[in-house]
Amino acid sequence: MTAKIINGIEVSAAIRADLRERVTAMADRGVVPGLAVIKVGVDPASAVYVRNKVRACGEVGIQSSQYDFEANVSQQTVLDLIGDLNERPNIHGILVQLPLPPHFAIADILQTISVDKDVDGFHLYNVGGLVAGGTVFPPCTPYGVVKILEHEGIEIEGKNVVVVGASNIVGKPMALMLMQRDATVCICHAKTRDLAQFTILADILVVAVGKPNLILPEMVKTGAVVIDVGINRLPDGKLVGDTDFEGLRHKVSHITPVPGGVGPMTVTMLLANTVASAERRLQTQSERLLTSVAS
């Protein structure tokens, strides 16, 4: 079997084209979606991520505003800015680039972002909504994985899904989102004994760990769908995922490459959440107007 290599750049481009149309439709009604991006310190990786997000906003017509702070800024200063951005009607999404310097209590920062501007989906309300239903913003990376599966026409309902990696930003929300779509989900992590006995059962295997070559061909069922979220830089500078891509591509039905698989989707889903936020606000305003006219 030769796998279909899922092109995340192509899937991303299709979603961004749709977003551009929705942004244009809103512009006709006088609204431009706005995203505020807050960065603290000089972490080089964070600088690249923020630059990519700001550029992507420009591509689809989202107005981004960037707030850069020195690493020694007080937490209160950042909390005050978030409080201010929460109130601004031209801001529909607020993103704080992680990681933050050690003197920050990340939970306090994330819980201060208004639930209806939490486009990263990290506020406890949005996380809780993944369990109970009613999340306002699905977190971007797992949301991107779901969109890839949908775009490829891969059925989720009733499938055995194994998620390797149980972080708050990828593994756990991923598992919840797939469970919500009626998959039978198993989550593996660093303490899982004999990883292969679980991965071999997967119809859909999502791997988000950060270890090159963790998943080898003998650990995967023939014809499985493999989504590799991992990003690892090898000593020679090459970027790879968590799976043995060359080995697996002759055994599975679909696989995402690294780079060019899940990565581009994460930023795209941030854009999607921001556009959805602006649309929701517009809808609420229209409903209020109708109610006031009617009464």
Residues marked active site are found at: 53, 97, 120
Phi, psi of 270 (to 5 degrees): -65, -45
Give the count of beta carbons closer than 10 Å to the beta carbon of residue 218.
Answer: 11
> Given the rule CB under 6 A, which of 47-55, 186-194, 273-281, 286-294 is the region that contacts ligand NAD?
186-194
Does residue 165 belong to the site contacting ligand NAD (CB under 6 A)? Answer: yes
Q: How far is the CB of 175 from ligand NAD (least distance, A)?
A: 11
Stretch that binds ligand NAD, among 101-109, 126-134, 153-161, 189-197 (CB under 6 A): 189-197
3-class secondary structure, 23: helix
* The only residue of 148, 226, 263, 274 in contact with ligand NAD, by rule CB under 6 A: 263
- Of the pair 62, 208, the CB lying nearest ligand NAD is at 208
66 binds ligand NAD per the rule CB under 6 A: no
Distance CA 170, CA 164 (A): 10
Determine, following the binding rule CB under 6 A, whether residue 121 of this chain makes contact with ligand NAD: no
- Those residues with Cβ within 8 angstroms of residue 225's Cβ, 6 or more apart along the chain or in another chain: 149, 152, 154, 203, 204, 205, 252, 253, 254, 255
Contacts of 130 (CB under 8 A, 6+ apart): 138, 173, 176, 177, 180
Instruction: Find the shortest distance in angstroms from Cβ 124 to ligand NAD.
Output: 18
Stretch that binds ligand NAD, among 84-92, 131-139, 205-213, 272-280 (CB under 6 A): 205-213
Assess 145 for contact with ligand NAD (CB under 6 A). no
What is the nearest approach in angstroms of ligand NAD to the Cβ of residue 214?
6
Say whether residue 230 binds ligand NAD (CB under 6 A). yes
Assigned token pair, 133: 């239903």
Amino acid at the residue 169: I
Judge contact between 93 and 54, C-beta under 8 A: no
* The only residue of 262, 269, 270, 278 in contact with ligand NAD, by rule CB under 6 A: 262
Pick the closest to residue 142 from 125, 123, 118, 166 (CA basis): 166
Q: How many residues bind ligand NAD (CB under 6 A)?
A: 25
Which residue's CB is nearer to ligand NAD, number 73 or number 231?
231
3-state secondary structure of 53: helix
Our CB check for ligand NAD shows the closer of 157 and 194 to be 194
CB of 283 to ligand NAD, least distance (A): 29
Half-sphere exposure of 11 (CA within 13 A, CB side): 26
- The residues facing 160 across adjacent strands are 184
The piece of 39-47, 87-95, 204-212, 276-284 that touches ligand NAD (CB under 6 A) is 204-212
Q: Whole-number minimum distance, CB 211 to ligand NAD, in Å?
A: 6
Q: Nearest Cα to 214, choosing from 175, 178, 162, 174?
A: 162
Note the residues at the interface with ligand NAD (CB under 6 A): 141, 164-167, 169-171, 188-190, 192, 195, 208-211, 214, 229-232, 262-263, 266
